[in-house]
């Protein structure tokens, strides 16, 4: 991952993360309880519908621009990163709006229902695309090795922490969660108390992993104050469809003021396009760009001098605009819709013992065609791009990588993998096959969720006959060579050349199977309406070079060796080189 360690903010974070002997005993860890139990405010009438919350996140630069440019006249922005406090403000009428990630909003719903109203999700601002990181100690080789993790309670990392574990086949109930009240390391160091996840990770060696924002990730892994052996295992650059940032509004206010709320959403859509054009024209609109970034730095980070930090945050937020909102609220062209994410989040929380119930989350039901009128980029289709310019280039890079790193179990670069069984002599795959669709559903969801990855579809062949032939040739076992001659229907005794040809045949056969499986998967995704860059999907035939069983002396073992493996690989590990343009 490219370091986005900002100089001014980074220096302060380093001070905050400097070890203090015995400080781990002063950690302000929290016990999990439902958000409604942590929020005591009752429902009061809205007294200021011009007051709107923001958080320290790059997408909120667009909201600040909307106020500066008069797109949302009279709007008063206030930053509140403590989500329970923001919920309390919304309940007591200080603002009708709530700002958070979708999982945070879902957790807050019960508090509003208990108070006699509800929440309505009205707008998606962005996806996190690099700003959220999982940092681990050197003893952790993969996600499956994590036994304890630190993170903020009620913050943006609760659902990603659970989902990533579950996708890797880890039961979250077997992982110890250390909850802290703050998201990031305090700029003043926090005194003698540990209040943030990075602080606990630095001070408490038995914590395997920590979810942090990118400046804290850099502080933990780089420079003089880095934690020894700590590294970034995973970022939202790979999982760029896992953390959606949204606005919600109190339902009682929405029902009485739908036109006002619609105007707020329309203003956010306009501001997103204005910011997009301003960033693109930075070289010619330097003063205007700097003014937006300076005021945003003051609002979001508390210091107008932190312009570089604000720009870094913005680069890690993928603002979705009109087309992204259409996809999010309707499911058009994606599996990562509001509906599917809501169910996914509820199931994940339930399995992790943090049940929030099962429900359909209310949405505004906007006429997106009407809201798109007058917008410059309405209807634009955004697709996560492969780092590779062509399938051929992807093939070459991936095959080189696999030659250098042949054993899946020995490399810590694969985020997730699962196996698809092959029948003997199977040469084709039908995307309509119900059994195969179970695997494809899983693969489709993962390739869409982890949009910054390359999906490798490997095919492995049963190499038992080749192994026995080599044994017979080595021992000059004429009886065994005779049996193999009959199996291969040869007119003469097999030789070393036969073994070479058989090895090549297994490689070719597996490559054909991998390509056929890839084609069936892409066809399945097309039928389901998923829009994606197919250069992200690479088929590779491994022949018999990576068997599960070296001596597959039973039909069952041979069947297990004959398989497909679908793997999500982190982009960085492929070392794509300067000839490959990384463009999301």
DSSP 242-299: S-EEEEEEEHHHHHH-HHHHHHHHHHHHHHHHHHHHHHHTTTT-HHHHHHHHHHHHHH
Tell me the CATH number of domain 391-574, given options 3.30.160.60, 3.30.1330.60, 1.10.10.10, 1.10.3720.10: 3.30.1330.60
Say if residue 114's pLDDT is above 70.
yes
Most confident by average pLDDT, 39-43, 90-94, 448-452, 527-531: 90-94
Hunting for tokens 């301003």 — which residue is that? 278
Q: Which of residues 420 and 380 earns the better pLDDT score?
A: 420
Say if residue 15's pLDDT is above 50.
no
Q: What's the rounded mean pLDDT across residues 60-86? A: 96
* pLDDT band at residue 424 under the 50/70/90 scheme: confident
Phi, psi of 463 (to 5 degrees): -100, 20
Angle in degrees, CA 10, 15, 18, rounded to 5: 120
Alpha helices (H) in 145-250, listed in sequence order: 158-167, 197-203, 214-221
- Mean model confidence pLDDT for the chain: 89
Say if residue 578's pLDDT is above 50.
no
The pLDDT score that the predictor gives to residue 26 is 84
Map residue 468 onto helix, strand or coil. helix
The pLDDT score that the predictor gives to residue 191 is 63
The pLDDT score that the predictor gives to residue 495 is 96
* pLDDT band at residue 393 under the 50/70/90 scheme: confident
Q: How far is CA 335 from the centre of its chain?
A: 14
Query: Could you give the strand order of the β-sheet that contains 453-460, starting from the edge strand earlier in sequence?
Result: 414-421, 563-570, 453-460, 537-543
The pLDDT score that the predictor gives to residue 412 is 59
Dist CA 512 CA 523 (whole Å): 16
The pLDDT score that the predictor gives to residue 193 is 87
Dist CA 463 CA 217 (whole Å): 44
Instruction: Tell me if 147 sits within 8 A of 176, measured CB to CB.
Output: yes
The pLDDT score that the predictor gives to residue 190 is 60
Say if residue 553's pLDDT is above 60.
yes
3-class SS letters over 473-521: HHHCCHHHHHHHHHHHCCCCCCCHHHHHHHHHHHHHHHHHHHHHHHHHH
Hunting for tokens 């003021």 — which residue is that? 257
Say if residue 80's pLDDT is above 70.
yes
* pLDDT band at residue 416 under the 50/70/90 scheme: confident
The residues, ordered by sequence, that sit 6+ positions from 566 with a Cβ below 8 Å of its Cβ are 417, 418, 419, 420, 439, 443, 455, 456, 457, 458
How far lies 444's CA from each of 18, 215, 336, 447, 563, in Å? 43, 32, 10, 5, 19
Percent of the chain at pLDDT > 90 equals 72
Q: What's the rounded mean pLDDT across residues 55-68? A: 96
Q: What's the rounded mean pLDDT across residues 11-33? A: 65
Token digits of residue 332: 């058009």
Q: How far is CA 132 from the centre of its chain?
A: 9
* pLDDT band at residue 584 under the 50/70/90 scheme: very low
Dist CA 276 CA 235 (whole Å): 24
Say if residue 147's pLDDT is above 90.
yes
Q: What's the rounded mean pLDDT across residues 453-462? A: 92
Q: Which of residues 356 and 40 earns the better pLDDT score?
A: 356
How far lies 322's CA from each of 96, 134, 361, 376, 380, in Å? 23, 30, 21, 10, 8
Q: Which of residues 185 and 363 earns the better pLDDT score?
A: 363
Say if residue 86's pLDDT is above 90.
yes
Dist CA 507 CA 399 (whole Å): 12
How crowded is residue 504: how many other Cβ atoms within 10 Å of its Cβ? 11
The pLDDT score that the predictor gives to residue 6 is 42
Dist CA 12 CA 489 (whole Å): 74
Dist CA 524 CA 433 (whole Å): 10
Q: What's the rounded mean pLDDT across residues 255-263? A: 98
Token digits of residue 61: 């630069």
Q: What's the rounded mean pLDDT across residues 107-117? A: 97
Q: How many CA atoms lie within 13 A of 197 on its CB side?
A: 32
Instruction: Tell me if 275 sits within 8 A of 48, measured CB to CB.
Output: no
The pLDDT score that the predictor gives to residue 224 is 83
* pLDDT band at residue 7 under the 50/70/90 scheme: very low
* pLDDT band at residue 23 under the 50/70/90 scheme: low
Say if residue 508's pLDDT is above 50.
yes
* pLDDT band at residue 1 under the 50/70/90 scheme: very low
């Amino acid at each position: 991952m490219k370091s986005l360690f900002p100089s001014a903010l980074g220096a302060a974070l380093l001070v905050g993360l400097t070890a203090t002997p015995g400080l781990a005993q002063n950690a302000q860890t929290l016990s999990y309880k439902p958000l409604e139990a942590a929020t005591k405010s009752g429902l009061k009438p809205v007294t200021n519908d011009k007051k709107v919350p923001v958080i320290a996140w790059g997408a909120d630069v667009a909201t600040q621009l909307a106020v500066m440019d008069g797109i949302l006249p009279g709007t008063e922005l206030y930053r509140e990163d403590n989500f329970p406090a923001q919920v309390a403000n919304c309940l007591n009428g200080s603002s009708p709006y709530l700002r958070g990630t979708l999982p945070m909003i879902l957790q807050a719903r019960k508090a509003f229902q208990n108070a006699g109203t509800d929440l309505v999700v009205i707008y998606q601002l962005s996806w996190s695309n690099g700003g959220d990181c999982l940092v681990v100690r050197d003893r952790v080789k993969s996600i499956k090795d994590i036994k304890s993790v630190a993170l903020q309670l009620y913050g943006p990392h609760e659902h990603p922490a659970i989902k990533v574990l579950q996708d890797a086949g880890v039961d979250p109930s077997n992982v110890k969660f250390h909850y802290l009240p703050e998201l990031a390391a305090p700029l003043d160091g926090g005194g003698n108390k540990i209040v943030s996840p990075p602080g606990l990770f630095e001070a408490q060696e038995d914590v395997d992993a920590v979810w942090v924002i990118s400046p804290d990730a850099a502080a933990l892994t780089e420079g003089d104050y880095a934690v020894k052996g700590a590294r970034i295992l995973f970022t939202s650059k790979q999982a760029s469809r896992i953390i959606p940032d949204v606005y919600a509004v109190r339902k009682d206010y929405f029902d009485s003021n739908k036109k006002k709320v619609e105007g707020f959403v329309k203003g956010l859509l306009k501001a997103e396009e204005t910011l997009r054009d301003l960033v693109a024209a930075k070289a010619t609109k330097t003063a205007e760009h700097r003014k937006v970034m300076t005021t945003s730095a003051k609002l979001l980070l508390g210091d107008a001098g932190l312009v570089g930090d604000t720009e870094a945050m913005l680069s890690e937020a993928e603002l979705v605009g009109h087309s992204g909102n259409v996809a999010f609220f309707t499911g058009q062209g994606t599996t990562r819709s509001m509906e599917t994410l809501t169910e996914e989040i509820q199931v994940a929380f339930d399995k992790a013992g943090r049940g929030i119930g099962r429900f359909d989350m209310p949405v505004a039901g906007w006429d997106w065609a009407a809201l798109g009128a007058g917008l410059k980029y309405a209807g634009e289709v955004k697709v996560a791009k492969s780092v590779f310019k062509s399938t051929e280039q992807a093939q070459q890079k991936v095959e080189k990588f696999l030659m250098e790193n042949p054993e899946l179990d020995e490399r810590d670069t694969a985020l997730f993998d699962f196996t698809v069984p092959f029948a003997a002599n199977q040469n084709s795959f039908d995307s309509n096959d119900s059994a195969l669709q179970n695997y494809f559903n899983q693969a489709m969801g993962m390739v869409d969720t982890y949009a910054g990855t390359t999906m490798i579809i490997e095919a492995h062949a049963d190499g038992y006959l080749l192994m026995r032939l080599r044994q017979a040739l080595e021992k000059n076992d004429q009886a065994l060579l005779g049996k193999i001659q009959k199996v291969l229907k040869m007119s003469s005794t097999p030789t070393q050349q036969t073994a070479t040809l058989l090895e090549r045949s297994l490689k070719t056969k597996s490559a054909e199977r991998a390509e056929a499986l890839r084609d069936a998967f892409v066809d399945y995704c097309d039928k389901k309406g998923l829009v994606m860059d197919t250069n992200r999907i690479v088929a590779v035939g491994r022949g018999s070079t990576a068997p599960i069983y070296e001596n597959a002396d039973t039909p069952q073992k041979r069947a297990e060796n004959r398989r497909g493996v679908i793997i999500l690989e982190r982009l960085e590990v492929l070392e794509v080189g300067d000839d490959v343009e990384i463009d999301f």
